[in-house]
Structure formats: structure tokens, C-alpha cells
Amino acid sequence: MAHHETLTGAEILLKALVDQGVEVIFGYPGGAVLPIYDELFKQNRLRHVLVRHEQAAVHAAEGYARSTGKVGCVLVTSGPGATNAVTGLADALCDSVPLVCLTGQVPTHLIGNDAFQEADITGITRPCTKHNYLVKDTNDLARTVHEAFHVARSGRPGPVLIDLPKDVVQNKGEYVAPAKVKSKYKPQVKGDMKGIEKAVEMIAHAKRPIFYVGGGVINSGPAACQLLTQFVRMTGFPCTLTLMGLGAFPGSDPLFLGMLGMHGTVEANMAMHDCDLMINIGARFDDRVTGKLDGFAPKSKKIHVDIDPSSINKNVAVDLAIVGDCAHVLEDMIKAWKAKQARVDDKALKAWWAQIDRWRSSNCLAFEGSNKLIKPQYAIQRIYEMTKHRNPYICTEVGQHQMWAAQHLKFDLPHHWMTSGGLGTMGYGLPSAMGVQMAHPEALVIDIAGESSIQMNIQELATLVQHRLPVKVVILNNQYMGMVRQWQELIHGGRYSESHMIHHPDFVKLAEAFGAVGLRAESPSEVDGVINEMLAVDRPVVVEMRTDASENVFPMIMPGMAHNEMVLGPEDRSRDNPGSETDGMVLV
């Protein structure tokens, strides 16, 4: 690196991005970022994906980041460009996705003057980014970009925004290499050894243990997932995963109890409720997981491993907290386990598994098949069976289809499941799939969608076509905002207030209008055929499956209830379930 090299701000910016390993930028140009786009035009090291709406740029970067473990990069203009990105940033913050979002800003001398396309975006995004910067001097630009990437990827990952006034990217300044930037931001990654040894002791003495594992393990990286799998198998303990954690432990392993929480399995939720030791690794006791806090695992001791100290004792008080990166802590835990020659309580564990197998035998995800109507669960099972040999990357939108996908798909690998968990952003899936496909051009990328969610960012079909991204979108069309309808049915007396979109577009024609392939299945007998057709095409495909409109997601922990108060589906009543009195449902 030459010293005292003077470049324009835009040149410095792109150089810094390249030095940070950026390959792809998802963005949309506008007045304030024109100097940056001009610079992009002159080079070919950074690819740019032109989205159709800035929210989609952020979700695409999220998909890219979550499927690779790298930092996603977004470039949008000032004012509306930046405010459109806000939902995506909030989503990335909730789900701890590392992003750097570059926003244009009016020139420094106009800031605060209500200039054209001016928005106080650092003010607006302060609570929905991990950190943000307003660069006022071109000489600070390189350092700021390097620090932003460091902050985005270190500790608990998250989105970082850099606001770039137009004059700052036009003026000249000095480039600084990443190695010369020392950040004061240094989160703790090694766990306290005493705590880890205590944990090993607690684990060895547990009689009814469970691993409760979240997205933190996936964020920690593939090594963390391998160490987790190794440790769970060493102990022979049951393991449940959160929505964000799916893939951290192999979904096909017999020790896996399925997802827990509001739409988790009976065996996962009951085991959580009755456990005597809960080993939480990289999960945050989210309210959709815990249900009623007073009734949450009342008989348990709790160990919590998390890189973010503010996640500890936030919702649930724990008995042992270990602050650190999951991979480091798991590695030390396995070492300590071996050094102590610790052994699990085999006899107690056998009895615990016998109990878990009884819960498992309820087969809570079973559903009543149909020859006439496509059951959404059936559609998802068929997608799974027909594509699993290709290890597809699955994205979802938000709602019933998302929960069915989480319940019925099995992930044996991390980084293959992209869904909006914390914020629950409808419209996440399609742009996210775009980002995944950019990162993995040869892979099969499927967005499982609902007909309502998909319409929130459907304009991105044009992006798929333009960039030749062969994403497969499967719309489970049940004519309703399904999850809203389900809550209205179960909680609001069947008053379907505004959850029925009476008019939907013809998705097949719509796909074709965008230049994608449109397919439709209207009966179960057509499902395999359209999936085969979809897989055979090397272009973006939209498949509409007309599904049973009345299907609900079960099991369900109603809001304000505890894990052992799940509501099961109507078909469980017809099987041998004791205490089935309420019409159509069973309180376990």
C-alpha cells in the first residue's frame, strides 16, 4: 500500500470494500450516490445487483450473509432510498445478520437544511442498527468502512450503516489499509473456564437434560455446529433448535426433537417443560419460544451460553451464564468434559428418553391427507423429498407456510435456512433467495412463500430475470393471510377481519410478464409434476400451489400459555389422545 495515496472518496470506498472481501453489492442508484455508481461503472471487481426496491437490497444482502457467513453489502441513495432500507436493517438486527449498508446523504453543507432527498438516516436507524456512522471527512472514510465491517461481523453480528454525504465521496483523501485500523470494539469470545467446568459438572449430573440451541451457533460458524453436534452426541442428550437455529444440529439425527416454541413439536416443548437441566447455546429465550414465563421449564436449572451479555438474564433468569463465542465455549466444554472423564447418568437418561419417546409417539406433525385439496404440509414434504439430494437452500416469507416449512423440512447443514425470525418480515423470502443464489450460483435455491407475503416484494422477479438467478418460488396459495386467519379463527371468534384478499393476481401470468416461468398445481396429483418441471428449468420459476384454505398450523402454544399447554390439530383427537374433550383440539 502506497503511503499518502490520494483518491476520491468513491475510489476509497470501493477499494475499502474490495479489501474487506466484498464481492457483491445489492443496491439501487440515486442522486446522492451517483459518484459511487460512476466509480462502480469503471471497475469489474465488485458486482452489483440492481434490485427493484431498497428493502429487497437489504434482504438480499441478508440472504447472501446468512448463506455464506460473510458480511452482506448494500448501497442505496439518500432520503427515500435509505428509509426504504430501514425494514431490512431492523430485520437484520433482530436476527443478528452481519451487514454493511451504505447510504447516500446530501452534501455536508446541506445537512439539516431539509434538502431534497434528505433524511436523518443515522437518527432513524440508531435503534435498528448495531451501530451507524456519518462520515464527514473523506480522510475518515477508509477507517470508518473497515471499522464498520469489523463491528458488523464481530461479537453478536448485526447491521452497520454508513451515511455518506455526496461531497465526502467526491472529495479527495487518503486511503488506509484494513491492517492499520485498530478498533476498540473487542467483544469477549473466550468463555470463563470456571463456568465451563461448572457446566460440565451440571451436565454430568443431569437426569432430564435438554440442549436448547439457537442461531448463535450458526452465526459462530460451521465449526461451532460441528462441535455442538459432537458434544450432543457425546452426551446422548436430546436437542431442540429454535427457528433461527435449524441446521445447527442435523435434522435427521435421532437426538433431534424438532423445533420448539409456539409451533414446535410436542416432544420438544414437553421436554423443555419437564427438563431438570436446560443447556441453552446461542439462543435468547424469545417470547415465541418460552411462552408464559411463569410456566417456563419450572423444574429446571439453566445454563446459558451467549456472546451477548445483554441476552443473559433478560427474559429468563439462569443459574449459570457463560459469555463467549459458541465455538470457543463448546471447544473448551468438550475439552473439560474429556479431561474430567465425565459421564452422563445413563440410567436416568434412559428413563428420560423413554418419556420423550412417548411424547414423540403423538406424531404431532401428522396431518390428514386429501385426494382433492393440496395440503400445504404435503406440498412442503414433497418439495423436501424431491430436492433433499441437492441440499437446497430454503428461504421463506412469514406466516403459516414458514412454520410448516420449519416443521417439515429437515436441515442437516447450517446456512441453508434463511427466514425472518425476530422481526417476522413478510416479503423477506424472495429477495433473500436472490442473495443466496448470487452467493451460490450453482445451488438449488427455493423460496417457500405464501400468496400474501410474496406480493410484498414481488417486483424482485424482475431482478431475478435480469441477473439470471434461477430461484424457485413456490407460492402456497390459500387465499388468506393464513396466520392472521388462524389467529382470528382461534382467538377472535372466527371474525376474519381483512385477512382475505379477495383478489389475487394470476401468478402464472404474472411470472410470465416478468419473464420468469409460471406453473400451477391445483390438486395433489399435480404436485410432483410441477416440482419436477420447476427443477428442470434453469430459469427463475414461480409455482403456484392452490392449497387447502382452512388448514392451520399445529401444535400451537396459544399466546400467554406455557409449553405443556399446547393445542394440537383436530386429527390428533381422533387418535389415542387422553383428555380430548374440547372440540377439534386437544389440550396436552
Partner 1 sequence: MSNAVQEVNRHTIAVLVDNESGVLARVIGLFSGRGYNIESLTVAEVDPREKLSRITIVTSGTAMIIEQIKNQLRRLVPVHKVQDLTTQGPHVSRELALVKVSAGGEKRVESLRIADIFRARAIDSTNESFVFEVVGATDKVDAFIKLMEPLGLTDVSRTGVVAIARGPNPI
Q: Of 218, 312, 394, 481, which lies in the binding site for partner 1, with binding defined by CB under 8 A? A: 312
Q: Which residues contact 308 (CB under 8 A, 6 or more apart)?
A: 155, 156, 284, 323
Dihedral sign for Cα atoms in the order 497, 498, 499, 501: positive
CA distance 65 to 359: 37
Q: How far is CA 336 from the centre of its chain?
A: 32
Q: How far is the CB of 346 from partner 1 (least distance, A)?
A: 35
Residues for the chain: how many in total? 588
If one counts every other C-beta atom within 10 angstroms of the C-beta of residue 525, the result is: 11
Cα separation of 231 and 217, whole Å? 13
**109 versus 492: smaller Cβ distance to partner 1:** 109
Half-sphere exposure of 517 (CA within 13 A, CB side): 19
Furthest-apart CA atoms within the chain: distance in Å: 79
Q: Which is nearer to partner 1, 93 or 271 (CB)?
A: 93
**15 an active-site residue?**
no
Q: Among 1, 5, 43, 116, which one carries the catalytic annotation?
A: 116
C-alpha 223/C-alpha 414 separation (Å) is 10
Number of C-beta neighbours around residue 422 at 10 A: 19
Residue 294 or 442 having the CB closest to partner 1:
294
Residues 81-140, interacting with partner 1 (CB under 8 A): 122-123, 126-127, 130-132, 134
CB of 150 to partner 1, least distance (A): 10
Closer of 57 and 160 to partner 1 (Cβ): 160
Count of other CB atoms within 10 angstroms of residue 180: 11
Is 288 exposed, middle or buried, given 0-12, 13-18 or 19+ CB atoms closer than 10 A?
A: middle
Asked if 556 contacts 566 with a C-beta cutoff of 8 angstroms, the reply is yes
Please list the helix, strand and coil fractions of the chain in percent, rounded to the nearest 5, in that order.
45, 15, 40
Least CB distance to partner 1 at residue 488 (A): 29
Closest CB to partner 1 among 255 and 312?
Answer: 312
301 binds partner 1 (CB under 8 A): no
Q: What angle do CA 155, 160, 162 make, to 5 degrees?
A: 145
When binding is defined by CB under 8 A, the residue of 3, 114, 194, 310 that contacts partner 1 is: 310
Give the one residue of 177, 317, 339, 537 binding partner 1; rule: CB under 8 A: 317
Q: Residue 518 corresponds to which cell in the numbers above?
A: 409460471
Question: Which position among 167, 197, 276, 308 is part of the footprint of partner 1 (CB under 8 A)?
Answer: 308
- Applying CB under 8 A, the span of 63-71, 312-320, 459-467, 515-523 interacting with partner 1 comes to 312-320
Using CA atoms, how far apart are residues 433 and 425, in angstroms rounded to an integer?
14
- Cβ contact 569:272 at 8 Å: no
Q: Cβ closer to partner 1: 126 or 390? A: 126
CB of 134 or CB of 272, closer to partner 1: 134
3-state secondary structure (DSSP) of residue 8: strand
| Among 99, 151, 333, 474, contact with partner 1 (rule: CB under 8 A) | 151
Binding-site residue total for partner 1 (CB under 8 A)? 18
Out of 313, 370, 532, 582, which residue is the one contacting partner 1 (CB under 8 A)?
313
Q: How far is the CB of 527 from partner 1 (least distance, A)?
A: 46
Stretch that binds partner 1, among 51-59, 212-220, 310-318, 403-411 (CB under 8 A): 310-318
Which residue in the list 11, 39, 54, 551 is annotated as catalytic? Answer: 54
117 noted as active-site residue? yes
User: Which is nearer to partner 1, 48 or 314 (by Cβ)?
Assistant: 314
User: Measured from the CB of residue 147, what is the shortest distance to partner 1 in angstroms?
Assistant: 9
Phi, psi of 161 (to 5 degrees): -110, 140
> For partner 1, which residue of 205, 207, 314, 440 counts as binding (CB under 8 A)?
314
| Residue bearing cell 384478499 | 501
Strand partners, 75: 27, 102
Near partner 1 in 182-241, by CB under 8 A: 184-185
**Residue 285 bears catalytic tag:** no
Question: Least distance (Å) from partner 1 to the CB of residue 313?
Answer: 6
**Catalytic residue selected from 117, 355, 459, 466:** 117
User: Helix, strand or coil for residue 164?
Assistant: strand
Q: Tell whether omega for the bond before 157 is within 30 degrees of 0, i.e. cis.
A: no
182 carries an active-site annotation: no
Of 70, 130, 166, 302, the active-site residue reads 166
Q: How far is the CB of 146 from partner 1 (least distance, A)?
A: 14
54 is annotated as an active-site residue: yes
Positions touching partner 1 (CB under 8 A) are: 122-123, 126-127, 130-132, 134, 151, 184-185, 308-310, 312-314, 317
Which residues are the active-site residues? 54, 116-117, 166, 483
